[in-house]
Structure 1
Amino acid sequence: MQKNYIPLRVNRDFGDIITTYFDFFKQNIKKFTNVFLSYNGIFLVALLIVSYLLVSGFMGMIAAERSTFGLNRPDSSEQDYLILIGAGGILFFFVFIAVAILNYSLSTSYMVKYDEKEGNQFDKKEVWGYARNQLGNIVLFVLLLIPIYIIFMIIAIICAIIPILGIFAQYIIQYFLIAWVGVSFFDMLQNNKGVTAALGEGWNLVTKNFWRSVGVNFVLGLLLGILILVALIVPGVIIGFYTFHVVQNDVDFVNSVVATIVYTLGTCVVLIVAVYGQCLTQFGNGLLYYTLHEKTYNIHTRKKIEQIGESL
C-alpha cells in the first residue's frame, strides 16, 4: 500500500509552505488531536479549575460593583473575590508554563516522527517517548524564553512610542521572535542539540531568510486566528444568548449554579482552543524549519542525487 506521505525536507517558496501546511493539517488533524487529548488530560482538568476560579472571582467583582449602586448585594466581600482572581491567575501562570512545555514538545515530536516514519503510521506513545527523552533541554529552553520575552516586551514598549512605523516594527519583531523560537525548538528536538546551540542555529536560519520566516508566521497566524474564531462561534453564541438572558431578567448570577457552569465551561473552551492553536502554530514552524534547513544545507537534495547516481 502506498504511503500518503507529504515530504517535509523540501526547499519550498512562500506559497508552497502555506499550501503544504494545510495539506499536512488535513492529513494529520485527527491523529494529532488524539495525541493532544491523550496527554493533556490532567491539564484540561487544571484549566477547568482555573476557569472556575477566574469566573467566580470576576462575577463576584461585577456583583460587588453593582452593589455600590444598590442593585444587588453580594454574599462575600470584594476581598474574597480578589483572592479568587489572584489564585486563578497564579495557577493559570504555572499551568500555562506546563502546557507550553508539553504541547510545544508534542507537536514538534509528532512532526519529527512523521518525517522519520515517512507518514503517520506510528503510535502516540512514540511521540511522547521522543519528547520525554529530551525533557531536560525542553524545560531549560522554556525557562530561557522568560528573559527573551522580557527583552522583547521592552523593545515593544520602545517601538510603541514611535508613531506609525513603531507599530509595524513591533509586529515584525513579534513574528520574527515566534519564528526564531519555533525553529530553534524544532532544531533542538530534531537533532538532539543543546539549548544554546539550537538557538544559535535557529537564529542563523531565520535571519538568513528573514522575510520568508516573518511572512509565513504572519499569514499562518492570521489564518489560524480565523479558524480559532470559527471554532469559538458556537460557544460564543451560547454565552452571548445566556448573557442577554441574565441582563434582561436581572438574574442573580453570583449565586446561580447555571451561570457558573456556563461561564466556567465557556472560559475553559477558550483556553483549550488557544492551547491547541499553539500546537498548530508550531506545525507551521516545523515546516518552515525543514524548508530553511534544506535551503541552507541541501542534505535531502544531495541524497536524492546520490541515489539517482547509484541507480545508473
Structure 2
Amino acid sequence: MEQKDIRFRKTRDLGAIITDSFEFLKQEIKPISRILLVYVLPFVVLYVVAQIYMQRNVLSRFDLNDPENLMANIGPFYSNLFLFMLFGLFINSLLVGTYYSYLEAYIKLGKGNFTLHDISSRFFSNSLLALGAGLLYTAAIILGIFMCVLPGIYIANTLSLIAFIAIFEKKGISDAISKSWRLVNSQWWNTLALNIVSILLVYAIGTILSLPTILLGFSTGIFAPADVNLADFPDWYWMWTGFASVLTTLLSVIPVTFLAFQYFNLEERENPGAVNP
C-alpha cells in the first residue's frame, strides 16, 4: 500500500481529525512501536508491576468490617497511592514526550527526512517538558474539581493542548497554557467532543482486553464472596490484568494524536495560510 506524507496543518472537522489520526498511526506504526518498545515499555511494565503489587499487598490488608484495621492501614494506603500517582504521571510524561518527539520531527523535517537516532536525544528534554505541563495540568484540574466538578471539566478540556504546544513550540509552559486556552476556546465544544471520544475509545479497548479476567473470574467464582481477598486471586488473573494494563497505557498514543491534529486544526483556523507543515 502506497503511503503518503500526511499534512498536519489543515482545517478539519471532528470526523476528519479521527480518520487522519488513525491513518497516521497506521502508516507510522513500525517506527512508533520501536521507540515506545525501547524507551517507554520497560517503565510501563515497572509501573504495572507496582500497580499489581499495590492491589495485592496493600488493598488486601483492608478489612471493611474492622474499623481499627481500616484506621491502621489508611496511612500506608494513601502514601502508596500518592507515590503511585506520581509514578503514573511520570510514565505518561515519558510516553507523551517520546511520542511527540517523533511527531515534532515528522512535522518539521518531513516524512523520511530523519531517523530515530536523529531524534533520540530529544526524548528526555521533551519528556521533562511534558512532565512540567502534566504537573500544572493535574494541579489545575484538582483545583477546578475542588471548586466544583464543572470547573474541573472546563479546565481539563481548555488546557488539554499544553503538552503538545510546549514540546512543539518550545516557548515555555506559561505560553503553552495561554495559547491552549485561546485556541481551545475558539472551538471548545469540538475539543470536548474529541476528548470524550478518545477517552471512551481507550476505555472500550481496555474493557475488551479485560473481558477474559471478568468472564473467567465470574465462571470460577473468585468475584462471588463479598469478603474476597485480592491476594487470593489466581496468578492468571494478575498476569492478564498486567498485560491488559500495559497495552491500554501504550494505547494512550491515540488521544494524544487526536490532540496534535486538533492543535493544527485550530492553529490554521486562527492563522490561515501561515508557514507551517
Task: Out of 39-48 and 262-271, give the one that drifted further.
Answer: 262-271
Over 3 Å counting, the alpha-carbon distance change for 1:117 and 1:241 in structure 2 is: same
- For structure 2, the residue ranges without an aligned partner over 5 or more in a row are none
The amino acid that maps onto 1:140 is G
Question: Which has the greater radius of gyration?
Answer: 1
SS of match in other structure, 2:11: coil
Q: Report sequence identity in percent.
A: 17
Over 3 Å counting, the alpha-carbon distance change for 1:184 and 1:247 in structure 2 is: closer
Residue aligning to 1:13: 13
In 1, Cα distance between equivalents of 2:133 and 2:91? 14
The amino acid that maps onto 1:245 is T
Query: What is the deviation of 1:129?
Result: 2.2
In 2, Cα distance between equivalents of 1:288 and 1:83? 42
Per-residue CA shift, 1:241-288, capped at 9, x if unaligned?
A: 1453254999x97776xx353333244234323422333211110010
Q: Give runs of aligned pairs for residues 1-312 of structure 1, distance below 5 A.
A: 4-40=4-40, 41-61=42-62, 85-86=77-78, 88-119=80-111, 122-157=114-149, 159=150, 174=153, 176-230=154-208, 232=209, 235-242=210-217, 244-247=219-222, 259-300=233-274
SS of match in other structure, 1:275: helix
Q: Say what the alpha-carbon RMSD is for the aligned residues.
A: 3.4
Over 3 Å counting, the alpha-carbon distance change for 1:213 and 1:85 in structure 2 is: same
The amino acid that maps onto 1:52 is Y
Task: Out of 203-212 and 120-129, give the one that drifted further.
Answer: 120-129
In 1, Cα distance between equivalents of 2:148 and 2:243? 30
Residue aligning to 1:307: none
Count of residues in correspondence between the two structures: 271
Query: What is the deviation of 1:139?
Result: 3.4
Q: Is 2:60–2:229's contact at 8 Å kept on the other side of the alignment?
A: yes
In 2, Cα distance between equivalents of 1:215 and 1:248? 35
The amino acid that maps onto 1:142 is G
The normalised TM-score by structure 2 is 0.79
